[in-house]
Structures are given as C-alpha cells and as structure tokens.
C-alpha cells in the first residue's frame, strides 16, 4: 500500500469547509450590521410618521375645544420590520401613549368687562390640565423623541432636557387668548394602531371680553419648551415696548419652573376663550359655576318680553344641563311681582329666561345650587310703552348717552374700505371711564377695538380689503364703580362698505360747530372724451373757531371707475380740484361727491353730498 | 499480487473525481448565490445619516432645528446658503456654536438681515456619509 497517492490530502474537504466558513461569517456580519441599519431606518421613518399622528391629535383637540362632539385620530403606535428569510428580527417596536398631570394653566390680572361675569371672572383663574405624550421603545434608534401635546403645542422632547416645538402656539393671537385644558386618563402600550378620541367637555363657542389690570395680564401654561423657544413661537405677537397702537400685545416671556409665563399689555381689552377637552377614560362636563346676564341689566322693557340669563361653567361657557342628572334651576328671589314665574330651568343652550309682566323695580335671579354673588344676577327694569321705539341698543332717544356716525369713504375698485367713525356722549357723570369702538366685519374675519378717554372724538378704520362687505360698528360707553367698569350705554351701526353712509347716522353737530356755507358748490369738470374724471369744489366753512379740516371725496359707487379723497386744512378754498394731480378714469359712471367738515375734536359735524354721473355737466350747492 | 494491488483502486472507478467536482460545484454555487444576495442587499441602505432638520428663515435670522434622528459631527457638516442665487459664503461656524455634535433638539441660529422678498436657498450636507439633509428654497416673508 502506498500513501503517495494520498499526498493531496483532504484539500477538497478543507476547501469546502473554508468556503462554508466564509459563508457563515458573511451571514453573521449581515445579521449584526445590515439588519440593524435597515431596522433603524424603519424605526426612524415610523418616528416621523407617528409625529404627524400626534400633530393630527393636537388639531382634533383644538377642534373639539371650539365645536362640540368628538373626533377620532388614529395613532400608529408601533411598526413592523421587513420580513427576513434567513435572518432574525427583534420583536416589533411598540409605542406608549399616556396622559400625565401637568399642573395648571391660567390667566392672572383679568377683569371681565360685564359686571355680572366679573362676580366670578376676576383676578386669577386656573385650569388643571394634562399633557398627552407618545413614546416608542425602539431596538436600534436610540435618540427617538417623546412627542407630546402640551397646552396646545406639539413638542419633541429629547435627552438632556432639549425640546423643540413641532406646531405653532394657539394661546395668544392678537388680543385673543385661547386656553384648552385636557382631562381624562389614557395609558396604552401596543404595536397595533390605536384610535384616540378627544371629545368636548366644555366648548368655547364664543369669547368672553376681559380687561387686563394695571399689572398686565399673565397667561401661564405648563411646558417643557425653553424660554427661547417660546419667544420664537410668539415672534409675531411680541411687543416689548407695549405700543398701544399695534395688534401685538405680548410684552415679555418668562420661564418659571415647569411653566412659561406670557405677559400681555396692561389696561387693554382681550377676548378670552377657555375650553375643556377629554382624552381617554374619565372626564366629566364641568358643573355650573356662575350666572350672568344676557339682557341688559338696566333696561326698559315692554310687557311680556323675557329677561334672559346664562349659567356658565368654570370655563366661561354655557352649561348643557342634559349632561347632569338633575335640572339646573333658577329662582326669582327678588321682584316676584314683576315676573310671571317664580322659578325656571336652564335650557340646553345654558340660558334661562323669565317673563316680565310690567312694573318698575329690581329683579334678582339666583341659581339654586350655587352660592355667593356669582350665583345671582340682578336687573333694574322699567316698563316701556308698547309703541316706544324698539331697536335694541340703536335707541337714540333722549335717554341715550352715546351717539355715533359713520362716514363711508370706501374706494370700491381698489378694494379699500375706509370709515370715519365719530362719536359723542351726553349726560355723562364723573363715573365716566372710557369709550370703546368695536369695529367688526359681520362675517367675523375682522375685529378691531379702539378706545379713548375722550368723551367726543373719532377714529378711522381701514380694514385693507373687503369692500362690499357688511361691517358692524359699536360704540360702548364705560362707567366704573367701586368694583370695576361696566357698559353704561352702547350704540351700533351696520354699514356696507359701498361708499355710501348708513341711513341711521346721528347728527353730532353742536351750537359752536363749524358750518359749510350755502354758497359752496361742487361742479362736474369731467372730460368724457379723454375719460378723465374731475370735480371742482368751491367751499367756505364758518369755523366758529372750532375747525380742523374738510375731506373732499369723489367716490365711484359701483366699482367701475377710480375714487379719490383729499383732506384740506383750509376753511376756504374756491378752486379745489379732485383729483389735484394725476388722472382718474371712470367717465360716464355714477359718483357720490362729498364734503365732510370736521370740528377741532375731529368729529364730522357737517356734510354735503351730491350724486352725479361723471359726464362733465352739472353742479350742486348745499340747500 | 501486484496486479491485484494496481487493479483494485481502479475498481472504484470515477467516484472520487466526481465527488470532488460535485462538492466544489455545490459550495461555489451556494457561496456565490448567497454572496450576491447579501452584497446586493447590503450595498443600498448603508452609510446614510438619518436625521430630520427643519429650516426657518425670517427677515432677521436663519434657523436650523434638529427634530430627531442621529447626532451629526459638526466637522462633517457642510452648509451653503444662497440669497437670490448668489452664494453668501456662510459656513456652519458662523452660527451658534453647538460643540462637537449637532444633537436632536438643538437649534442653530445665524443672525443676518434678509429682505422679505429675497429668495433664500439653504443646503446642509453630512460629508461623512454624503447625505443631503436640507435643500430648501424659501422667502423670509412667507411665514413657515
């Protein structure tokens, strides 16, 4: 036997084993490097997707704060790794969503402008709230954030206390303050998707008007975001100089403990909206907290008209008694001889009403289950004859203390509404506090409030767009007593931005007001052939040493030609042209030409207007 | 005897050679298939920086916020900024000093006045992996 033939040994087997070894090594390397990389990518993508789900949850929560009902938001709690034939995946990552106590959000240094509301809503109001947070247990992706809805802001929390905001803040927008508190218990950990249903517990359909005290209004909400991040979120609202002439109100932002304090300007009017949203199990609609008046408190009524009150919860929203086991009862505790009923119950809209049967005196209504001044509302009623003028706060009788006029100088084609709003007060005593002019587009997209300490004056409103829309202009006269201020009288005019004045303007002229002389004249100087509209104004004002300026207006009525106005401080101008420079097109279209005379307080006291087709012919003079 | 000895090995015929060829062929086929499968699969997802960066530009500053993902070595970050198409020469070092790494939750701020109607393009790349993290064009006037 020879071993020579065996010299080649076991090369084939060795080679095979070596190759198999390499294969096993390759497989092992793949399992330890590539599989985790791919899985990390899957986890990262899931983390981004679930952050969007939390943003949707925040949107749904803010929606249920304003509209009753519930919304369903699906949260992709976990994810699945790709299927692998030869390799092994860790178990699929699961996510946890939970509510956690966050402390209280609140407002400080507020006073409701309505005296009955102020029995409850004054000083500091706090609302307990919770954060809703999501976190995932990934096997590879290590720095994954915890994503939370905190006081209406979606925040990503990372290690070492670093946080970034993913959404905007809903808290302060102009003079509107919105606080959405969260109640309920949620704690779920799973891989499958989970439906979260935020629901309204107290819906903020309207806002409550409040005023900040001299210390400035503070809004405090719990947060993990840094002061810097809040300043960045509130960038558009910051006004550190507290300039009263802009629509920015935030004077400072301070981080205190686990909360941020946003300070707003002192002695200004704000619209406060507060709501309660339920997430998860538990969470009850809040109980009644106070009652306020809907009918004016000092009023004269015709027999048979109702006195209306509204019962509200801690969140200043009308209660819905159908959510309670018992009715909410309101008793008449004073003035039973003036009222048909002795007691009544609150309807689904949170309102209770009793019927006035005539006579004069005080009527007090009290909510049965409440105590203290906030449980009562009082009316001083006098009887009004049935023929009396009945146009709400548009009452212009001798008892009315505030008068209002609106001069519409809208340039229709340029979509540039402009209103000169003049007001005057009379029979005002030393309780006078201030005048507020509330200028609103009736569709709710514009709301400007101006105020003044002067008992007579004017404002100009230029909303920037919205010609042809209806605007409601309300002047309110505020008095103050020992407890704070209240609305003594109010008057509202509705005007369409159509270059024509409303029909119910008051006459604000006084004995010493400037007067436009009858010899004044407007004449049409239009060149119809070259399509150049031009009017000549020849006017003289008897000033009575009480004159500021005149406004000359050439206003196209239907938006098919140019419009122009011109202010002149001189009381006597024989040859003032509009336009004084440049050209206006619109020959042969309808115009309203107008001369407004302002007294030294800026109030429009005399007006002459002439409607004309701009055809180069005609003239007119004051009667 | 000799005959028998020499004749005997031939009795096994071709089996040894066939066995070798078969073993080699099998191993080669298995290894190449598995290798090709692994290598093709492994090549794609490797070497990519997973990070989400948000860009905010207003009239006064440019902000980059790390919204989550991996920390990135700031020496590897390559920033380029173009205002109205012209490269400004702004580098990462001109903004907030965030130390060695750009971590999740951190914010890089570069203060610079920019016209509200200017077009601002910002790109941010991680040169160690060749990942383009941000490439956005915005106007400061358009809020977020």
Q: Full-prediction pTM beyond 0.90? A: no
Same domain, A186 and A242: yes
Last residue of a domain, one of A318, A351, A383: A383
Confidence of residue B4 (pLDDT cuts 50, 70, 90): very low
pLDDT in tens, A421-440: 999 988 888 888 889 998 88
Q: Is residue A39 part of a domain?
A: no
**B31:A23 CB<8 A:** yes
Instruction: Answer yes or no: is A224 within a domain.
Output: yes
Q: Both A358 and A438 in a single domain?
A: no
- At residue A389, the pLDDT reads 40
Same domain for A474 and A611?
Answer: no
Nearest to A26 among B38, B63, B71 (CB): B38
A84 touches chain B (CB under 8 A): no
> Is A471 within the bounds of a domain?
yes
What separation in angstroms does the CA of A557 have from each of A409, A411, A442, A498, B53? 10, 9, 21, 7, 53
| Shared-domain flag, residues A452 and A583 | no
B38, closest residue in chain A (CA to CA): A30
CA distance A95 to A57: 15
The CATH number of whichever domain residue A596 belongs to comes to 2.60.40.10
Q: Is the pLDDT of residue B10 over 60?
A: no
Return the exposure string of A66-100: e unless at least 16 CB atoms fall within 10 Å of the residue's CB, then b. Answer: eeeeebebebbbbbebeeeeeeebeeebbbbbbbe
Return the H-helix or E-strand segment holding A311: strand A306-313
- Domain presence at residue A201: yes
Distance of CA A404 to the CA centre of its chain: 25
Gap from A239 CA to chain B (nearest CA, Å):
16
The answer to whether B67 faces chain A, any CB pair under 8 Å, is: yes
Residues A373 and A428 in one domain: no
Q: Is A17 part of a structural domain of the chain?
A: no
Cβ neighbour number for residue A227 with a 10 Å cutoff = 15
* Pair A340, A248 in one domain: no
Is A411 part of a structural domain of the chain?
yes
Q: List the single residue in B with minimal CA-CA distance to A42.
A: B50
What's the confidence (pLDDT) of residue A400? 67
pLDDT at B48 over 70: yes
Q: With contacts defined as CB-CB under 8 Å, which chain A residues touch B18?
A: none
Cross-chain CB nearest to A164 (options B30, B71, B105)? B105
Contacts of A229 in chain B (CB under 8 A): 107
Quote the pLDDT of residue A315. 93
Question: Is A143–B9 a contact, with Cβ atoms under 8 angstroms apart?
Answer: no
Residue A479 located in a structural domain: yes
Query: What distance in Å separates residue B135's CA from the closest CA in chain A?
Result: 18
Query: pLDDT below 50 — which residues of chain A?
Result: 386-398
Are residues A222 and A134 part of one domain? yes
Q: Where are the domains of chain B?
A: 2-43, 51-138
Q: How far apart are CA A462 and CA A605, in angstroms?
A: 21
A154 and A56 part of one domain: yes
Residues A571 and A424 in one domain: no
Please identify, among A462, A496, A530, the residue that sits at the C-terminal boundary of a domain.
Answer: A496
Residues A479 and A555 in one domain: no
Domain membership of residue A474 (yes or no) is: yes
Residue with tokens 């939390």: A54
Which band of pLDDT confidence, cut at 50, 70 and 90, is reported for residue B46?
low
CB of B105 less than 8 A from some CB of A: yes
Give the pairing type, strands A122-137 and A146-150: antiparallel
Residue A10 pLDDT: 65
Does residue A471 sit in the same domain as residue A521? no
Q: Report CB contact under 8 Å: B63, A143.
A: no
Q: Which of A113, A105, A109, A169 is nearest to A131 (CA)?
A: A105
Q: Which residues of A, range 31-70, sit inside 8 Å of B by Cβ?
A: 33-34, 37-38, 40-41, 44, 47-48, 51
Q: For position B139, what pLDDT does the model report?
A: 85
**Chain A window 112-141: which residues touch B at a Cβ cutoff of 8 Å?**
141
Characterize A385-420 residue by residue with b for buried, 16 or more Cβ atoms within 10 angstroms of its Cβ, and e for exposed. Answer: eeeeeeeeeebeeeebbbbbbbbbbbbbbeebbbbb
Q: Tell whether the model's pLDDT for residue B2 goes beyond 50.
A: no
Say if CB A374 and CB A289 are below 8 A apart.
Answer: yes
Q: How many CA atoms lie within 13 A of B129 on its CB side?
A: 18
Q: Determine the distance in angstroms separating the CA of A12 from the nearest CA of chain B, rounded to an integer.
A: 6
pLDDT at A395: 40
**Which tokens hold the place of A60?**
């749904």
Task: State the best of A232, A233, A235, A237 to mutate against chain B, taking most chain B CBs within 10 Å.
Answer: A232
A53 and A195 within one domain: yes
- pLDDT score for A538: 92
- ipTM exceeding the 0.95 mark: no
Range name among A386-400, A564-578, B66-80, B104-118 with the lowest pLDDT average: A386-400
The total number of structural domains that make up chain A: 4
Q: Looking at per-residue confidence, does B13 or A216 come out higher?
A: A216
* B5 interfaces chain A, CB cutoff of 8 Å: yes
Chain B residues lying within 8 Å of A55, measured CB to CB: none
DSSP 8-state secondary structure symbol assigned to residue A160: G
pLDDT digits (tens, 9 = 90+) for A196-243: 999 999 998 888 989 888 888 999 999 999 998 899 899 888 888 888
Q: What is the H or E stretch that residue A115 is in?
A: helix A115-118
Decide which of A348, A383, A418 is a domain's last residue: A383
What range defines the domain where residue A100 resides?
47-81+90-278
Q: B105–A13: do the CB atoms touch at under 8 Å?
A: no
CATH class of B51-138: mainly beta
């Amino acid at each position: 036997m020879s071993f020579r033939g065996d010299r080649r040994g076991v090369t084939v087997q060795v080679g095979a084993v070596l190759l198999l070894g390499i294969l096993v090594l390759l497989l092992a390397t793949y399992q330890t490097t590539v599989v985790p990389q791919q899985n990390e990518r899957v986890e990262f993508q899931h983390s981004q997707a679930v952050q969007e789900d939390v943003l949707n949850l925040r949107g749904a929560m803010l929606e249920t704060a304003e509209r009753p009902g519930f919304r369903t938001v699906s949260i992709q709690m976990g994810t699945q790794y790709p299927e692998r034939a030869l390799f092994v995946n860790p178990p699929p990552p699961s996510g946890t969503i939970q509510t956690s106590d966050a402390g209280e959000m609140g407002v400080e240094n507020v006073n409701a402008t309505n005296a009955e509301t102020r029995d409850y809503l004054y000083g500091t109001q706090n609302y307990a709230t919770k954060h809703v947070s999501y976190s995932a247990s990934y096997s590879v992706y290590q720095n994954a954030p915890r994503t939370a809805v905190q006081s209406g802001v979606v925040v990503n929390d990372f290690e070492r206390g670093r946080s970034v905001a993913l959404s905007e803040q809903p808290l302060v927008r102009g003079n509107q303050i919105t606080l959405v508190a969260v109640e309920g218990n949620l704690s779920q950990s799973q891989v499958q998707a989970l439906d979260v249903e935020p629901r309204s517990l107290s819906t903020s359909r309207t806002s409550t008007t409040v005023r900040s005290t001299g210390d400035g209004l503070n809004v405090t909400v719990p947060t993990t975001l840094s002061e810097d991040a809040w300043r960045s979120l509130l960038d558009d609202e910051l006004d550190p100089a507290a300039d009263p002439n802009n629509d920015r109100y935030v004077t400072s932002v301070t981080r205190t403990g686990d909360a941020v304090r946003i300070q707003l300007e002192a002695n200004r009017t704000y619209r406060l909206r507060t709501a309660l949203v339920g997430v998860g199990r538990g969470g009850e609609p809040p109980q009644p907290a106070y009652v306020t008046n809907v009918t004016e408190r000092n009023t004269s009524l015709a027999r048979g008209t109702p006195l209306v009150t509204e019962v509200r919860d801690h969140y200043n929203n009308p209660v819905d008694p159908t959510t309670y086991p018992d009715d909410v009862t309101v008793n008449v505790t004073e003035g039973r001889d003036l009222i048909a009923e002795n007691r009544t119950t609150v309807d689904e809209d949170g309102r209770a009403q009793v019927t006035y049967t005539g006579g004069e005196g005080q009527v007090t209504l009290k909510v049965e289950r409440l105590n203290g001044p906030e449980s009562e509302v009082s009316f001083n009623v006098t009887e009004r004859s049935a023929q009396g003028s009945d146009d709400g706060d548009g009452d212009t009788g001798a008892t009315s203390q505030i008068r209002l006029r609106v001069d519409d100088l809208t340039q229709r084609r340029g979509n540039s509404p402009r209103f000169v709003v003049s007001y005057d007060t009379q029979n005002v005593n030393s309780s006078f506090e201030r005048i507020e002019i509330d200028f609103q587009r009736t569709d709710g997209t514009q709301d400007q409030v101006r105020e003044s300490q002067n008992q007579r004056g004017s404002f100009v409103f230029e909303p920037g767009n919205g010609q042809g829309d209806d605007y409601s202009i309300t002047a309110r006269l505020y008095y103050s007593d020992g407890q704070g201020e209240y609305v003594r009288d109010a008057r509202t005019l509705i005007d369409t931005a159509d270059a024509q004045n409303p029909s119910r303007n008051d006459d604000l002229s006084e004995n010493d007001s400037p007067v436009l002389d009858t010899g004044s004249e407007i004449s049409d100087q239009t060149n119809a052939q070259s399509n150049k509209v031009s009017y000549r104004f020849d006017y003289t004002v008897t000033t009575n040493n009480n004159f500021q300026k005149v406004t000359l207006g050439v206003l196209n009525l239907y938006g098919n030609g140019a419009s122009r106005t011109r202010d002149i401080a001189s009381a006597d101008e024989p040859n003032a042209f509009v336009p004084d420079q440049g050209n206006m097109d619109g020959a042969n279209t309808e115009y309203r030409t107008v001369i407004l005379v302002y007294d030294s307080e800026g109030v429009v006291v005399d007006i002459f207007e002439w409607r004309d087709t701009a055809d180069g012919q005609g003239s007119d003079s004051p009667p | 005897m000799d005959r028998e000895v020499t004749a005997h090995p031939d009795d096994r015929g071709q089996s040894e050679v066939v066995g070798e060829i078969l073993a080699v062929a099998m191993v080669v086929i298995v290894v190449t298939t598995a290798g090709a499968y692994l290598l093709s699969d492994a090549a794609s997802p490797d070497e990519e920086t997973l990070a989400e960066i948000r860009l905010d530009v207003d009239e006064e500053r440019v902000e980059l916020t790390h919204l989550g993902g991996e920390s990135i070595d700031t020496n590897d970050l390559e920033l380029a900024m173009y205002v109205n198409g012209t490269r400004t020469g702004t580098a990462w070092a001109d903004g907030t000093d965030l130390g060695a790494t750009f971590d999740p939750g951190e914010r890089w701020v570069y203060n610079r006045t920019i016209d509200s109607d200017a077009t601002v393009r910002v790109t941010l790349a991680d040169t160690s992996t060749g990942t383009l993290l941000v490439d956005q064009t915005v106007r400061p006037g358009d809020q977020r």
